[in-house]
Structure 1
Amino acid sequence: MLKRTLLAVTLALPVAFASGAALAEWPEKPVKVIVPGGAGSGTDTAARLVTDALTKAFGQPFIVENKPGANGMIGTDE
């Protein structure tokens, strides 16, 4: 009996806490997409094409920010 109660409580807790997150508007501010390469590179071009489509789909601005240098590690660290 105790195991069933414990199992029920364990399964119910994530649902109880998830309800508040489900009510939040997403995204509340512009989304920043970091590209670990220079402007005009293939990765930058692909990111800008994808973010244009995402902006139209979600109605929220997606901003591409380039962080070149250190063989991509600077952008990856962001």
Structure 2
Amino acid sequence: MFVSAKGAELFYSVRGHGPACLVLSSIDTRPHERQVPAQLRDRLKLVCVDLRGSGRSTGDPADLALDVLTWREEP
């Protein structure tokens, strides 16, 4: 799935059940999705995100700064 964020399309996937655990990846989320043990997916909802300019996400990695990483669109 994709979400638009400050000029980029960020890819993310959700696996598992339970409290959310954010897994940020600067290489690609696919290795994380394949290697996570089933016991972890049984206890946590893993939200894997390809950071800006990596994996299946678009955007320039040079634009990745703390204020961009923590940006949230107000409803």
Q: TM-score, normalised by structure 2?
A: 0.38
> By percentage of residues, which structure has more helix?
1
For the pair shown, which has the larger CA radius of gyration, 1 or 2? Answer: 1
Q: TM-score, normalised by structure 1?
A: 0.37
> By percentage of residues, which structure has more strand?
2
